[in-house]
Amino acid sequence: MPAVVVLGALPQELAAFSSRIVAGRWAGVRIHAALTGIGKPAAAATTQRLITLHRPDAVIFTGVAGSLDPQRGIGDIGIGVAAIDAELDLRPLRPGCRLGEDPFVGRRVLRSDPALVTAALASGVPGLFPAYIASGSAFLDSPGKARFRREVLPELEAEIDGAMRRPDLIEMEGSAVLQTAAANAVPALAIRAVSDGVEGDAVADFEGFLHSAIGRYAQVVEAVLGRLEAGG
């Protein structure tokens, strides 16, 4: 039976998942669920701890994100095909280096596992899209998001699956989870529900939004778990 680590950055997410986990199992898969806390250091530390303890077959990270693309509205769910650390900047040290790039290991964009991405996008849940995620360390209000889109977003453009893209979403943990999983050779997937649009702050009824969003992306997680249980 496959073992999967399911992570959430907020307590509400894990509470919703716990109702689906019976005797440590969900959709025929052994589940180890944990709260990462907010931010990249917390997310990386929790991911490493759970991988070390449980040696899972996959890591699935869930949570919310802000939209950087006018086409992505509140309630849409981004299946993170790739993520980038929007604050990693070695350009003063290494001329020619790009924002988000670690030239010492030749890495810039962190990728979710393609098979997990395919399973998530095939789940049939409305509002899914393949997302390129930027991870930072600050919650962006409307003016902050406008500055980020104007000053930082163009510097994060990267080739994703044969096309040049700028990040669709901004959040605070995804790149760290994918980086830690990759360092341990564990397939991983980031799933992010859009909580605020390009022009606005997070929805006023954030608790109500979480309840609705978690119910929807729990269906995505269940589809991915089903694929893993079937050996796909």
Q: pLDDT tens digit string along 73-119?
A: 888 999 999 999 999 999 999 989 999 999 999 999 999 999 999 99
Task: Reply yes or no on whether the pLDDT at 71 is more than 80.
Answer: yes
Which tens digit of pLDDT belongs to each residue from 118-170?
Answer: 999 999 999 999 999 999 998 887 888 889 999 999 999 999 999 999 999 99
C-alpha dist (Å) from residue 17 to 38, 49, 146, 188, 215: 18, 20, 34, 18, 9
Report yes or no: 7 and 45 within 8 Å, Cβ to Cβ: no
Structure tokens at 222: 């269940």
Q: Is the dihedral of CA 55, 48, 156, 138 positive or negative?
A: positive
Stated as kind and residue range, the H or E segment containing 73 is none
Rounded to 5 degrees, φ, ψ at 119 are: -65, -40
Please give the backbone phi and psi of residue 212, each rounded to the nearest 5 degrees, phi first: -70, -45
4-44, pLDDT tens digit by residue? 999 988 887 777 788 889 999 999 999 999 999 899 999 99
Pairing between strand 25-26 and 29-35?
Answer: antiparallel
Q: Which CATH class is domain 3-229?
A: alpha beta
Q: Which pLDDT score is estimated for 206?
A: 63
Asked whether the predicted pLDDT for residue 72 surpasses 70, the reply is yes
Domain ranges of the chain: 3-229
